[in-house]
Amino acid sequence: MNNFEALSLPPKLRTKMSEVRVRFAPSPTGPLHIGGVRTALYNYLFAKKTGGKMILRVEDTDQTRFVAGAEEYLIDALRWCGIKLDESVVDGGQFGPYRQSERKEIYLPYAEQLVRNGFAYYAFDTSEELTKMRERMKAAGVPSPQYNAITRTTMQNSLSLSVSEVKKRIERGDSYVIRIKMPRNEEVKLNDIIRGWVVVNTNNMDDKVIFKSDGMPTYHLANVVDDYTMKISHVIRGEEWLPSAPLHVLLYRYLGWEEKIPEFAHLPLILKPDGNGKLSKRDGDRLGFPVFPTEWTNPETGDVSSGYRESGYLPEAFINMLAFLGWNPGTSKELFSMNELCESFSLERVGKSAAKFDFDKTRWFNQQYLRAKSKEDLAKDLQEILKQNGVVANDDYVGKVCEQLKERATFVRDMWEEGKYYFVAPTSYDEKTIRKKWKEDTSNLLSEFKNRIEAISDFSSENIEKEFKSFLEENKLGMGKLLPAFRVSLTGLGMGPSLFDISSLLGKEETIKRMETALEKIN
């Protein structure tokens, strides 16, 4: 990034384009990483906020990096996140096709136009010749040799060879690429919405290949041609693309499209939780949390990387967390539904500095959304888990269980793991509670209290509690004398939600049965 001089002028959102059209343009080279989902999200939020269109373009020009299933993966992942597309490989649209490999014929005429106008040239160098050039330059003290205004004069290209030689080579089918002819010592400027003015001198840029020998454009040419032909108004993408932006600006200029150059917004990096380096795909599950929205199975190795969906995260929580990785609303409000994000989002409130990923915060978001869910919705999710565990219970009962447990849970599965006793009577009893709280007179007291319970006609939580308290009072006992024993006999555990609520929900018959079993087993 040292090539760049980012001036701190606050950029103004120019409004020269009437319709906002943004695109998320992933390359299907593997699963979509958290950073990619955030890019998609910010594009989506910006489109919604401005009444614009959200486009998905699959950038698959690099056939050597094709990964089976990656495109399907990203479409499914975006759907799970609630990021809706207006135009895409699935939804179609008037600017299609939306897969670059299907737009193949579009690019060559533009590359040739650049050659004709003196902005690009054919290069015939073999990989051995390129290696030799690099070695030569290194030996001459150039640490990172490039194909540029200096080295191009010594290479096999249409600037160094005669017109007839170039013609001959092309006609006999020699393999060639097309490179941009980077001018000497020119300043390229762009006003990034997030970073302000970015200025780079072309002396620090190389003659990038824009069209490859396999008949495909490279990312740079395809990206610019597609953004232009798809009428993209704003390019919102990760900071790793900032070094390419000046080249894109030049391509716009050389293709005669300077008037239509989109606005740029390069999003800050997402760092590992300790702030040490970028959170990368390779981090997989190594750091103890998923880096992918949904589970991914590597088609070659069969290795499975976990996803937020399969780990039990709610898409609302995942999205809320992601929105805050780089953006903030300027208030202390933290919980934003997708609709609220669409209303509140602005690129001006996206920070320049990298955002540290905070896994605990992600769990916190999930907890908040879980609590906010209706008992009916939660019951539906919990029923899935119950089914997997061979438990049959009616929706109404499951909903009430969820109501009692949701405050204590981070994931739906916690309600099963921590609340099995709502569905299955305990088979063992927490040893520590027994050791500390089941004293000599406990069995007698519990048994007496059981008789009192039998007489309650309306088995509500309040009535059980009332009866419990008067029993303690009559016997001059403190809470700690009987409550833990009562709890362990119903749940097998030492802790949990209100025991009177649990007992009422289990019902009188089940409560008594469990007390009797505990009285038999404990002692």
Pick left, alpha or beta for residue 173 (phi over 0 → left; psi -120 to 50 → alpha; otherwise beta): left
Shortest spacing between CB 29 and ligand GLU, in angstroms: 7
**Are 506 and 460 within 8 A, CB to CB?**
no
Query: Does position 404 bind ligand GLU by CB under 6 A?
Result: no
Shortest spacing between CB 37 and ligand GLU, in angstroms: 12
Contacting residue, 21, 22, 26, 264, with ligand GLU by CB under 6 A: 26
* DSSP secondary structure letter of residue 118: T
Nearer to ligand GLU, 219 or 429 (CB): 219
Query: Does position 100 bind ligand GLU by CB under 6 A?
Result: no
Which one of the spans 3-11, 25-33, 102-110, 422-430 is the region binding ligand GLU (CB under 6 A)?
25-33
**Are 57 and 225 within 8 A, CB to CB?**
no
Query: Does position 228 bind ligand GLU by CB under 6 A?
Result: no
Residue type, 481: K
Nearer to ligand GLU, 27 or 157 (CB): 27
- Binders of ligand GLU among residues 170 to 209 (CB under 6 A) are none
- Binders of ligand GLU among residues 53 to 82 (CB under 6 A) are 59
Query: Does position 28 bind ligand GLU by CB under 6 A?
Result: no
Contacting residue, 4, 11, 20, 25, with ligand GLU by CB under 6 A: 25
Token pair 């490989």: residue: 89
**Are 253 and 118 within 8 A, CB to CB?**
no
Contacting residue, 11, 21, 27, 75, with ligand GLU by CB under 6 A: 27
Of the candidates 110, 411, 376, 467, the one whose C-alpha atom is nearest the C-alpha of residue 256 is 110
Nearer to ligand GLU, 26 or 497 (CB): 26
- Binders of ligand GLU among residues 238 to 277 (CB under 6 A) are 241
* Cα–Cα–Cα angle for 2, 355, 271, rounded to 5 degrees: 75
Q: Give me 447's structure tokens.
A: 């048994």
Q: How far apart are CA 7 and CA 512, in angstroms?
A: 75
* Cα–Cα–Cα angle for 40, 44, 50, rounded to 5 degrees: 150
Radius of gyration of the chain, Cα coordinates, nearest whole angstrom: 32
88 φ/ψ angles, rounded to the nearest 5 degrees:
-170, 180
Contacting residue, 21, 103, 220, 237, with ligand GLU by CB under 6 A: 237
Assess whether the previous peptide bond of 97 is cis (omega < 30° from 0). Answer: yes
Shortest spacing between CB 263 and ligand GLU, in angstroms: 13
Shortest spacing between CB 175 and ligand GLU, in angstroms: 25
Query: Does position 223 bind ligand GLU by CB under 6 A?
Result: yes
Query: Does position 35 bind ligand GLU by CB under 6 A?
Result: no
Nearer to ligand GLU, 241 or 423 (CB): 241
Q: Give me 344's structure tokens.
A: 């509140």
* Active-site entry in 53, 208, 212, 281: 281
Shortest spacing between CB 27 and ligand GLU, in angstroms: 4
C-alpha separations of 437 from 484, 487, 492, 514 in Å = 7, 11, 13, 18
Nearer to ligand GLU, 149 or 198 (CB): 198
Which one of the spans 23-31, 256-264, 285-293, 343-351 is the region binding ligand GLU (CB under 6 A)?
23-31
466 part of the active site = no
Which one of the spans 22-30, 343-351, 357-365, 428-436 is the region binding ligand GLU (CB under 6 A)?
22-30
- Torsion over CA of 466, 472, 478 and 484, rounded to 10 degrees? -70
Give, for 319, the enclosing helix (H) or strand (E).
Answer: helix 315-323
How many residues make up the chain in this entry?
523
Nearer to ligand GLU, 224 or 505 (CB): 224
* Pairing status of strand 263-267 against strand 270-271: unpaired
Beta strands in 343-480 (DSSP E): 355-356
Shortest spacing between CB 219 and ligand GLU, in angstroms: 6
Binding flags for ligand GLU, 360-379, as an x/- string (CB under 6 A): --------------------
Q: Which residues contact 447 (CB under 8 A, 6 or more apart)?
A: 515, 519
Nearer to ligand GLU, 58 or 120 (CB): 58
Of the candidates 328, 319, 327, 326, the one whose C-alpha atom is nearest the C-alpha of residue 293 is 319
Number of residues that bind ligand GLU (CB under 6 A): 8
Q: Which residues carry out catalysis?
A: 281
Chain contacts with ligand GLU (rule: CB under 6 A): 25-27, 59, 219, 223, 237, 241
